[in-house]
Structure 1
């Protein structure tokens, strides 16, 4: 007797419910149960050192390598490392212990093996607080969390910091990291910097390297405040502080009807306000966030959901579910995920906790150090192999792109209107892929005198979306996301965040910065031989595009101009945008697959 075997079918609604339930259960586990720490970004095998970013894969999926690496612990050791490289005519790149920059700014040249890496991982012991003048001077390798904890221990606060605390002081200064504020000096950390110690190449008579102290109106200081690592090695940073304060936060989940009218007043009313927009759900989440007196009752923390330790099983299941929806082109399934995750975020206030354990009610009040930045998945016991950061490259967990565009404040409302028009034109379901992650996160940066900072008050929008395991496989509704990306960077001239984005975002970037030529002149002055440059950083810095091979548009390495830049064999062809006709995107077209395959001789 033969026993028939039924084909196993995934019940996706049940799977999503299971994932959701697991997340809820895990969120109530004791908070001292942490994950295994992220892997070190540099791995050496005795012959070569390989550098990866915190996500385990670069934009072009090509590894970065160098024959050697040094780990200075003092400024003099740092100077000697630069001097040795200069004496031996080596190309140099600086790396940190976190390496969360998405573009390949830290990658040495691949055209020569005459390169070396300098890591600031062990250059992290010095934090000197001057309480009288309310400044702090720190080594470049000091982590943001160590800095903020030490500062608040002295009854002071660092006003600006990014939301993710897995960064070093030198790294966040180099790439223009920011929080959200138009108040005071603004939300960008570099605008709170009052001095920088920079190690640059020197003449033989200067010992092949020298230390420059930069401050005030010095053009070198204005260049070094956002240096991209191409001027030299940041050694020490002096930051301004303020008397310690607390923050009071409430999230308001509401309709998205008036974002384009409200966003300016929202920034003026709330010192640290931001907006999260879920376009497929017609929902906006307004963050009401102001400082309060340090004596105000409240011991809350911001343990942002996306930065918490995650169960490896949940991360893998979430990834597998989204991947299955991608492969089956199931928009409805993705929208179910987006609805479920958004509801959960609302339930737990996206990770805010009133008493460091759970969320009970608004407002959540806590110290600046505990509210501004988060990243609890970083502080981990290597013994807990079942928990980790959700994007840990050692598991088959989350993998995503992060697009971050910085708009002049006056143009951002028109961008919102265009995305709404596009949503209505194509149906909102095609935007669910963004809402699975964190929708559009809207933040604020004040005008800066840094040459590569923002020259006017600006609005920043971040959005994450699925990245496949195989670069040759197109993504569901990728044409819509590409059109939004091109509307931002090319229709409205938004600037790219230096530490994020796909390569196409940097096309034509020099024209977007009024002080671009001043920055280049400083680079020629302090690094005339280009010791701190590589073809990778030049692509970002000069906005060049050297990619035009088959499939280059699938991962944002180019903008398609021919069908071959997409994937004709899989039904993706280069087409104009739905709303922005100048956009060129890779769009799925079932009807064209047959004719394309006939042209290629695939079908006889």
Structure 2
């Protein structure tokens, strides 16, 4: 307990005073120049913990070079995958099929091509970070209205996975809804030079395939976005109990343009982000520098991880609940990173004088200052940086249609009534973040107006080690995905989220038709993407302990951890669920 308190004190001091950071490594690492490579994601591990290898990595600097690289791979029928600067996708989207495959990195395709202030359009190369899009647009008095909250993702990467912010207004919060044209390099026939650049506009139906593509159509070269004139927002956080959350959640998204809700089920609290567009005449130069996206002391991360590992080992649910209240209280005291007239700098200056915080959209919509600082020898890092292996977690994210929201919320609340301390662990990781997403014309986009549920929770360094309240987390996961028909976020989730997922998309066959047209040899496909798209058998793997990592849904005790008293059991509320539950009676019998 003393360790936890001291850790949180350090946490607060660091984020008030500010420090330098060490930006993450490139996810592609090679032993000999650009050859004999491995590729991973920013978290350092894929869901199945496998090592992904590639024969080489290539770094095109122009569309012409990119086309030549794709042509060479097409001619030799070599597997290819695109990789991005920070690779934030959890599933194996960047892993080519086999160690002879090639990685094409978009790191050097990172230029802003054109900003047309009159038409309010911006054209960028696919490796440009969201941070640069926001910044460059602002210089021209423009803004991309809705974005994800983390700015360290590339345009090509975020489009491939359907990344989004939070809004049910206008076209909604997914960035692909604001794409008006795209250039994508795909394989081609020999008479076309084995590769071609396809230029798609809003009049081309195939743009609805390319906007959310999982990277299986080719490599995006350029993207043109429709922007808006810069505007201001006013943001206020309001904390309430969650007794009416099932009814209030749907209405809230319709009432507030940029609203989202953080949910802390074990504390029975909900944090409403009242966030709306206001006139530019409103005074204020507010800034949202979200605290978990700032540089963090490695010593703090190590102490926090050590504390949670001990709590898991000793089944100390009460300790997690105390820690969760300390974390949420600290974030509240620090206004979650909001300042009324703050500035980005090496030494942070904080001036939070109260709500509402009013500021231009570019200063309120997205952040990630742990990427902006100079090297400091890993004294501080982005919290999830895998180089020191300190933060390690599972992430489950799915969208549930608005009509199904009340039932899902009430079911989770029933689980909390049965196990009041079960979800304190996810409250250590900012609770359940609920964002709003609109239905999309993209073939692999959202099929209905929905709420996205983001859930981050403890993952053991040992793949055969179960978690405290393993069954509750698994039941919520299966409940959201299967009982309520949730669509998984393409860039997050454990493997089980993608079981027969393609059947949930009415336009799946249209997408597969474009895929077959653009890449008939499947050089941009892998075993994993073929499984997800229903072209091969299931993404799940049945083996001992597979349910602990989300590699399967248990059907036998061996899929859990029977040696540690975790057995495959029905869910407590969703009886069709099959979860790994700790069995006290079995434990007692064995001891007797």
The CA distance in 1 between the partners of 2:203 and 2:266, in whole Å, is 46
The CA distance in 1 between the partners of 2:273 and 2:316, in whole Å, is 32
Determine if the alignment matches structure 1 residue 181 to structure 2 residue 170: no
Determine if the alignment matches structure 1 residue 79 to structure 2 residue 67: yes
The CA distance in 2 between the partners of 1:318 and 1:539, in whole Å, is 37
Q: Corresponding residue for 1:365? A: 358
The CA distance in 1 between the partners of 2:581 and 2:523, in whole Å, is 42
Structure 1 residues 409-466: Cα deviation after superposition (integer angstroms, max 9, x where no partner): 1111110011011111x23211111111111111111111000001221111111100
Query: SS of 1:285's equivalent?
Result: strand
2:565 aligns with one of 540, 562, 571: 571
1:337 aligns with one of 316, 323, 328: 323
Instruction: Using the TM superposition, give the Cα deviation of residue 296 of structure 1 relative to its aligned residue in structure 2, in angstroms.
Output: 2.5
Determine if the alignment matches structure 1 residue 374 to structure 2 residue 360: no
Q: Corresponding residue for 1:106? A: 94
1:536 aligns with one of 528, 533, 540: 528
Q: Corresponding residue for 1:469? A: 461
The CA distance in 2 between the partners of 1:131 and 1:596, in whole Å, is 73
Instruction: Using the TM superposition, give the Cα deviation of residue 302 of structure 1 relative to its aligned residue in structure 2, in angstroms.
Output: 1.2
Instruction: Using the TM superposition, give the Cα deviation of residue 544 of structure 1 relative to its aligned residue in structure 2, in angstroms.
Output: 1.9
2:299 aligns with one of 313, 330, 335: 313
Q: Corresponding residue for 2:213? A: 227
Query: SS of 2:554's equivalent?
Result: coil
Query: SS of 2:422's equivalent?
Result: helix
The CA distance in 2 between the partners of 1:296 and 1:49, in whole Å, is 52
Distance 1:396 1:66, change over 3 A: closer
Q: Corresponding residue for 1:97? A: 85
Q: Corresponding residue for 2:345? A: none
Instruction: Using the TM superposition, give the Cα deviation of residue 593 of structure 1 relative to its aligned residue in structure 2, in angstroms.
Output: 4.5
**Equivalent residues of 2:528, 2:539 under 8 A apart:** no
Instruction: Using the TM superposition, give the Cα deviation of residue 295 of structure 1 relative to its aligned residue in structure 2, in angstroms.
Output: 4.0
Instruction: Using the TM superposition, give the Cα deviation of residue 380 of structure 1 relative to its aligned residue in structure 2, in angstroms.
Output: 2.2
**Equivalent residues of 2:20, 2:376 under 8 A apart:** no
Q: Corresponding residue for 2:333? A: 347
The CA distance in 1 between the partners of 2:517 and 2:409, in whole Å, is 41
The CA distance in 2 between the partners of 1:186 and 1:240, in whole Å, is 13
Determine if the alignment matches structure 1 residue 552 to structure 2 residue 543: no
1:118-137 map, 5 Å: 118-137=104-123
Instruction: Using the TM superposition, give the Cα deviation of residue 371 of structure 1 relative to its aligned residue in structure 2, in angstroms.
Output: 1.0
**Equivalent residues of 1:399, 1:467 under 8 A apart:** yes
Determine if the alignment matches structure 1 residue 162 to structure 2 residue 148: yes
1:521 aligns with one of 513, 520, 542: 513
Instruction: Using the TM superposition, give the Cα deviation of residue 34 of structure 1 relative to its aligned residue in structure 2, in angstroms.
Output: 2.1
CA RMSD of aligned residues (A): 1.5
Which 4+ stretches in 1 moved above 3 angstroms?
Answer: 593-598
Query: SS of 1:272's equivalent?
Result: coil
2:137 aligns with one of 141, 148, 151: 151
Unaligned segments of structure 2, at least 5 residues: 343-348
Determine if the alignment matches structure 1 residue 581 to structure 2 residue 575: yes
Aligned pair count?
A: 581
**Equivalent residues of 1:451, 1:519 under 8 A apart:** yes
**Equivalent residues of 1:34, 1:384 under 8 A apart:** no
**Equivalent residues of 2:502, 2:532 under 8 A apart:** no
The CA distance in 1 between the partners of 2:57 and 2:70, in whole Å, is 12
Determine if the alignment matches structure 1 residue 291 to structure 2 residue 285: no
The CA distance in 2 between the partners of 1:119 and 1:264, in whole Å, is 40
The CA distance in 1 between the partners of 2:439 and 2:540, in whole Å, is 32
Query: SS of 2:17's equivalent?
Result: coil
Distance 1:569 1:597, change over 3 A: farther
Determine if the alignment matches structure 1 residue 485 to structure 2 residue 477: yes
Instruction: Using the TM superposition, give the Cα deviation of residue 382 of structure 1 relative to its aligned residue in structure 2, in angstroms.
Output: 1.4
Q: Corresponding residue for 1:6? A: none
Q: Corresponding residue for 1:400? A: 393
The CA distance in 2 between the partners of 1:103 and 1:125, in whole Å, is 27
The CA distance in 2 between the partners of 1:82 and 1:439, in whole Å, is 43
Structure 1 residues 497-536: Cα deviation after superposition (integer angstroms, max 9, x where no partner): 0000000011110111111111111111111111100012
The CA distance in 1 between the partners of 2:12 and 2:71, in whole Å, is 53
**Greater Cα offset, 124-133 or 180-189:** 124-133
Instruction: Using the TM superposition, give the Cα deviation of residue 138 of structure 1 relative to its aligned residue in structure 2, in angstroms.
Output: 0.6
**Greater Cα offset, 583-592 or 192-201:** 583-592
The CA distance in 2 between the partners of 1:86 and 1:288, in whole Å, is 50
Structure 1 residues 294-345: Cα deviation after superposition (integer angstroms, max 9, x where no partner): 3432122111111111111101101110110000001001101111001111
The CA distance in 1 between the partners of 2:203 and 2:450, in whole Å, is 23
**Equivalent residues of 2:415, 2:573 under 8 A apart:** yes
**Equivalent residues of 2:260, 2:434 under 8 A apart:** yes
Query: SS of 1:237's equivalent?
Result: strand
Query: SS of 1:137's equivalent?
Result: strand
Q: Corresponding residue for 2:403? A: 410
The CA distance in 2 between the partners of 1:48 and 1:180, in whole Å, is 41
Determine if the alignment matches structure 1 residue 260 to structure 2 residue 252: no
